[in-house]
Amino acid sequence: MSKVYNFSAGPAMLPVEVMKKCQEEFLNYNGLGVSIIEMSHRSKDYMEVANQAVADLRDLLKLPDNYKVLFMHGGGRGMFANIAMNLAQPNGCADYLVGGAWAGYAAAEGKKYTNVNEIKIDSVNDKNLVTINTKNLPLNKDAQYVHVCLNETIHGIEIFDDINTNNVPLIADASSNILSRPLDVTKYGIVYAGAQKNIGPSGFAIAIVREDLIGHALPFCPSVYDFKVTYEHDSMFNTPNTFAWYLSGLVFKWIKDFGGLEAMEARNKEKADYLYGFIDSCDFYSNNVDKSCRSRMNVPFFLKNSDLNQEFLDKAKEAGLCNLKGHRVLGGMRASIYNAMPIEGVKALVEFMDKFAKEHK
């Protein structure tokens, strides 16, 4: 089988080393004669797996003791509701910084539980490029929280600047860039992430919650989504996705073995710079995001002649470059180059893009 590079936005490719380790252990975990997915989540052997995963994640993010790691059901979209149900007040309000599709989806969900003030942070500059502003925002000092999406997978926008919320808890959706670079979690009240980008399989989310924000759930919040209940039961009030937890733990170890988040950031910057550098140098392709906020994880790009889109996708697939079609909201192409994507995959993509462009000039 020839080498295939998967540029899917999620579920995304996982490290080959992790997949091989999982394959080796799948039928017989640690010599126990059973698969990891057959083990009781409360057994001594599985609890060692779960606790080690949490410890490794805490180590990677350098989490202080007052931040708790919760494994939540429902994925990223589930967290849109969970945040509001755990922090909002029916007669209160929350600020949502909106700069891309996913931030808007989160705001729409928040409106079911509280008054939402949407603050637009994206605009088009004089070079006709999308840019982001997070300074001097019209925030409400009485808001229960401020919500922001740190990386927009659809539009290829990433926020690198600190956001001053005047002590109102800042809640970050880091679903698509968590563990891609160091992150000072102490600047946030909560950092959460759907799993299927840089963590592991789809279907669950991880929430890193400052302890003073636990215990404020609305009365109708289901127990399985209540941060306090989840914390008091070590994320096992309801049987968790044990396989995803285990596999995520393997990913955490892989990142640590690679050198941690500093080394991972260098890897991701190299990949992004290589791909954006080619796009900028070739008038056959374009990217519409300002360099100050270009995502290192998701690179949308457009062909000069959109009539060639399908041919581009077909030939890319033949070349072993899969899942490059842009999101339906934006169109064009999109290369998602999360942690697991090696530089060789990006170089293969650039080589193909160069060849395709020369054939169609």
Q: Is 304 a catalytic residue?
A: no
> Which pLDDT belongs to residue 361?
82
What burial class does residue 135 get, using C-beta atoms within 10 Å of its C-beta: 0-12 exposed, 13-18 middle, 19+ buried? exposed
pLDDT for res 329: 85
What is the Cα–Cα distance from 7 to 85, expressed in whole angstroms? 34
Shared domain for 112 and 65, answered yes or no, is yes
CATH number at residue 355: 3.90.1150.10
245 is catalytic: no
Q: Judge if 198 and 319 occupy the same domain.
A: no
**Catalytic position from the list 173, 254, 271, 325:** 173
Residues 32-56: tens digit of each pLDDT: 999 999 998 989 999 999 999 999 9
Q: Is 149 helix (H, G, I), strand (E, B) or coil?
A: strand
Residue 296 within any structural domain of the chain: yes
User: Which residue, of 224, 257, 290, is where some domain finishes?
Assistant: 257
Do 296 and 337 form a contact (C-beta atoms < 8 A)?
Answer: yes
Phi, psi of 19 (to 5 degrees): -65, -40
Domain total of the chain: 2
* Within a domain: 271: yes
The one catalytic residue in 56, 68, 95, 197 is 197
Do residues 40 and 54 share a domain?
Answer: yes
State the CB neighbour count (10 A cutoff) for residue 231.
Answer: 18
Domain match, 22 and 56 both: yes
Percent of the chain surpassing pLDDT 70: 99
Q: Give the pLDDT confidence of 163-203 residue by residue, as tens digits.
A: 999 999 999 999 999 999 999 999 999 999 999 999 999 98
What digits encode the pLDDT tens for the residues 89-135? Answer: 878 999 999 998 999 999 999 999 999 999 999 999 989 999 999 99
Evaluate whether residue 3 is within a structural domain. Answer: no
pLDDT band for position 2 (cuts 50, 70, 90) = low
pTM confidence score:
0.96
**Residue 7 located in a structural domain:** no
Q: What is the predicted pLDDT for the residue at 103?
A: 95
Structural domain that includes position 126: 17-257
Averaged over 329-358, what is the pLDDT? Answer: 96
Distance from C-alpha of 52 to C-alpha of 73, rounded to nearest angstrom: 20
Per-residue pLDDT, 65: 97
Helix axes 101-110, 75-87, angle to 10 degrees: 40
For residues 227 and 300, membership in a common domain is answered with no
> Known catalytic residue: 102?
yes
Per-residue pLDDT at 1 exceeds 60: no
- Based on the fold, state whether residues 208 and 298 are members of the same structural domain: no
Short-list 306, 310, 339, 341, CA closest to 325: 310
Q: How far apart are CA 196 and CA 248, in angstroms?
A: 10
- Which of 56, 102, 245, 290 is catalytic? The answer is 102
Round the average pLDDT of the chain to a whole number and report it. 95
Question: How far is CA 247 from each of CA 55, 179, 239, 263, rounded to the nearest angstrom?
Answer: 14, 15, 16, 21
Whether 214 and 333 map to the same domain: the answer is no
247 and 276 housed in the same domain: no
Closest by CA to 176, choosing from 200, 198, 204, is: 198
User: What is the spatial distance between Cα 284 and Cα 277, in angstroms, rounded to a whole number?
Assistant: 13
287 Cβ contact list (under 8 Å, min separation 6) = 156, 276, 279, 280, 294, 299, 300, 301, 302
* Same domain? 270 vs 248: no
Task: Please give the backbone phi and psi of residue 303, each rounded to the nearest 5 degrees, phi first.
Answer: -80, 145
Q: How is 122-141 classified by DSSP, letter by letter?
A: EEE-TTS-EEE--SS----T
pLDDT of residue 53: 97
Q: Which amino acid is at 357?
A: A
Last residue of a domain, one of 203, 223, 257: 257
Q: Is residue 2 part of a domain?
A: no
Residues 220 and 181 in one domain: yes
Q: Are residues 28 and 171 in the same domain?
A: yes
The residue out of 257, 284, 311 marking a domain boundary is 257
pLDDT digits (tens, 9 = 90+) for 241-293: 999 999 999 999 999 999 999 999 999 999 999 999 999 999 999 999 999 99
Asked whether residue 226 falls in the same domain as residue 300, the answer is: no
Residue 4 within a domain: no
In a domain, 6, yes or no: no
Q: What is the CATH number of the domain that holds 196?
A: 3.40.640.10
Residue 35 lies in a domain: yes
